[in-house]
Amino acid sequence: MMNNTMSENIAGLYKVKQQLIKKLNNKEAVIGILGLGYVGLPLVLRYSSVTYKVIGFDIDEEKVRALSQAESYIEHISKNTLKIALKQGFLATTDFSRVSECDALIVCVPTPLNKYREPDLSFVIHTMEMIKPFLHKGQVISLESTTYPGTTEEELLPRITSLGLHVGEEIFLVYSPEREDPANSQFTTQTIPKVCGGHSLACLEVGVALYSSIIDTVVPVSSTKVAEMTKLLENIHRAVNIGLVNEMKIVADKMDIDIYEVIRAAATKPFGFTPYYPGPGLGGHCIPIDPFYLTWKAREYDVSTRFIELAGEVNTQMPKWVISKVMNALNEKGKALKNSKILILGVAYKKNVDDTRESPAFKLIELLLAKGALVDYSDPHVPILKKHVHGQTHFQSIDLTAQTLARYDCLLLVTHHDKFDYLFIQKYADIIIDTRGVYQQDLSNVIRA
C-alpha cells in the first residue's frame, strides 16, 4: 500500500495537470507563441480571436515593432485583423523573460537545411536555450516546427529535465506539426485538423486541451515520434508524386504529348488516382526540405531511402531542364542566352501569395545569370526581392505594360498568379516558356516546359 506522503505527491501532480487543463479550457491561460512568421502569426490571431491572452516572441525587432503598430508583413493578414488582436491584449515582444508569464508555449521557428542538405535545428535549440531559464511547473510546451522523428525527445526533453522538472507530471511536452497553407481560404488554422502527440499520456491530454479551443478537430496520436513522422509523410508524399509527374512531363515532352491533357484525362478516374501537376522545381518551406530530414535520420538506422532520394533528384534537376527549354526557344529565334533579356513571371513559391521561401525562381534566376542572361522579374505579390542571387542582392518587380513586355527576348512563367493578365501577356510577349500549364491551347509564341 502507498503511504500517505506518496499519495499526497501523486494527488499534487495530478492537480498540476488538471489545473492547467482547466485554465486552457476556460481560456484563462496565457499563450506564448515563439516565432511570428507564417506559422506563428496565424496562431496568435486564432488564439486571440477566441479571447486568450497572447504574447508573441521573436528575435526580429522589426517584426515586433511592426506588429505593435498593427503593420502586417504577411500579405494575407490584414492590418485590421492585427488591430483587433492588439485590442484583445496581444503583445509582441523580444523580451523572452516574459515566457515566465505564459501557461503554454508554442515553438514555431524555422528548421531549414544547412549547406550540406542536413537538418539545421539551430533555431529550435537556440529558442529552447533562451526560454529555459523561465520555464516552471504548470506549463505546456509544444513544438510545431517540421523536423525528424525523435527531435522532441532528443532536443527538447533533456533541456527541460535538466531544470529538475518532471515532464508529464509538473510540466508537459507535445509535438504538433503545423499545417498552414498561406492564403488558402478553403482551409484555415481553425478548420485544418491538428495532429498532436505527447511525451506521455498526461502530456497528450494537456496538448489536446491546448488546441481544442481553437481547432475544430484535434487528432491525438500515441507519441511525439508518430506526430513528427506524420508531418514528414504528408510532405514526402507530395514530393514523391511531384517528382513522378515531373519525370513524366519530360518523357511526354520528348514524345510530343501534352502532359496536362494526360493528367486531365487520368483525373476522370473516380478512384485510385490523385492529380499532381509538374512545375519548374519544388518551393515552399516544407516540400523541398522535409524529405532530407527523414533521409538524414534514416541513415542513423542504417536504412537507405532510395525512393525518396530519387524523387528529390528529379525535382532538383527541373530548373536545369527549364533553362534548356529557354535556350532552345532562343536558338530557334537565332539568339543566344547570353545577353538575352529574360523576364521571370512570379517569384513566390506558389500562386497568390507573397511567400518566396525556397522558390524555384531563385535557382532559375541563378542559372540564367550564370549563363550571362539579363534577368528581371514581375510579381504583383512581391514588389521588392531582397535576396542574394549570383552576386545580385536587390531586384524590383517590373510593371507589365505592352512596352515592357516587348522589351524582353523571353518570358519565363514560374508562378501562375491570378493577378497576371495572361491574354495581355501573350499578346505582347515574343516568347513565353510556360512551366505551369497556364496556356492550354497551341499558341505560336508559347512553349510548355
Say what the pLDDT of residue 287 is.
83
By the 8 A CB rule, do 191 and 52 touch? Answer: no
Q: Is there a shared CATH topology between the 4-222 domain and the 247-448 domain?
A: yes
> Which class in CATH covers the domain with range 247-448?
alpha beta
CA–CA gap between residue 301 and residue 289 (Å, rounded): 20
Give ∠ CA 250-436-402 in degrees, rounded to 5.
Answer: 125
CB atoms within 10 A of CB 56: 27
CA–CA gap between residue 66 and residue 383 (Å, rounded): 18
β-strands 341-345, 30-34 pairing = unpaired
The mean per-residue pLDDT over the stretch 55-69 comes to 97
4-222: which CATH architecture?
Answer: 3-Layer(aba) Sandwich (3.40)
**Cα-based distances in Å from 49 to 52, 58, 177, 422:** 7, 20, 21, 38
* pLDDT for residue 151 is more than 90: yes
Of the chain, the end-to-end C-alpha distance in Å amounts to: 74
Say what the pLDDT of residue 182 is.
78
Output 224 or 182, whichever has higher pLDDT.
224
**Class of residue 310 by CB neighbours under 10 A (exposed 0-12, middle 13-18, buried 19+):** middle
Per annotation, catalytic residue among 102, 108, 203, 286: 286
CA–CA gap between residue 211 and residue 177 (Å, rounded): 12
Residue 203 a catalytic site member: no
* pLDDT for residue 166 is more than 60: yes
Say what the pLDDT of residue 14 is.
81
| Mean pLDDT estimate for the chain | 94
Q: Domain extents for the chain?
A: 4-222, 247-448
Residue 155, phi then psi, degrees to nearest 5: -110, -45
* pLDDT for residue 1 is more than 60: no
Residue 412, phi then psi, degrees to nearest 5: -110, 105
Output 405 or 388, whichever has higher pLDDT.
405
CA–CA gap between residue 204 and residue 408 (Å, rounded): 57
pTM: 0.91
Kindly give the residue spans of alpha helices, DSSP state H, lying in 333-385. Answer: 360-370
Query: Which of 97, 160, 154 is closest to 128 using CA atoms?
Result: 160
